[in-house]
Amino acid sequence: MKLFETTVSDFTDNFYHEKLLKKRGFSYICGTDEVGRGPLAGPVVAAAVILPADCTTELFTDSKKTTEAQRRQILDYLNSIDAPSGIGILSPSEVDRHNIHQASLLAMKQSIEKLAAAFRLPDFILVDGKYSVPLSIPQESLIKGDSRSASIGAASILAKVTRDTIMAKLHDKYPIYNFLANKGYPTQEHRAALKRHGPCPEHRRSFKGVLSDEKESTP
């Protein structure tokens, strides 16, 4: 049985789940999310964030609904309030080895473990999506959680900024793919560059469109 029942307030207050959990005795509530499931290149990156008890801002939401400038401002705010956080990164080769679904969950697990090492282990985890993180900690998975939970939204933004920074550095190393613009996603320009030059070490070889048709598979 799921812990939360959807109510109107669930969609109007992005601290609804955190407030309910605190009423039930949980003090260190962690939100976790990942970015980079769809790209042909680059890592999958996850973040875990615990928002301070007195944090009530509505800034935190799905990173896809914010601009780059807004995400930078929100990250500055997270740093200003000393929100404990952790980052998990799985390389393209690890994505190929585990498959993207498992790699995403492992990245979230890693981000929570990094948070625990720097701060403390959370006593509850709010996870974006419909799958659980492989940790023996009480948790709840929320579909579209990055829009419904402030903690998950904060993690979404931190993960997005982190991955975009990584892709900007990879652009400097492999400018022919224009990772700065496409972030590794399968744009027309990116696919054309792959056909022309073939993949680089940062491409996911298990993804359709990276290798020749006879070698590729759909993730």
Specify the DSSP element, H or E, that contains 127: strand 124-128
Mean pLDDT of 186-201: 96
Decide if pLDDT at 89 tops 70. yes
Express each pLDDT in 127-171 by its tens digit. Answer: 999 999 999 999 999 999 999 999 999 999 999 999 999 999 999
Q: Which pTM does this prediction carry?
A: 0.90
Give the CA distances from residue 98 to residues 90, 95, 149, 162, 199, in Å, rounded to whole numbers and listed in that order: 10, 5, 28, 22, 20
Rounded CA separation 164/180 (Å)? 8
List of domains in the chain: 13-169 (3.30.420.10)
Phi, psi of 130 (to 5 degrees): -120, 5
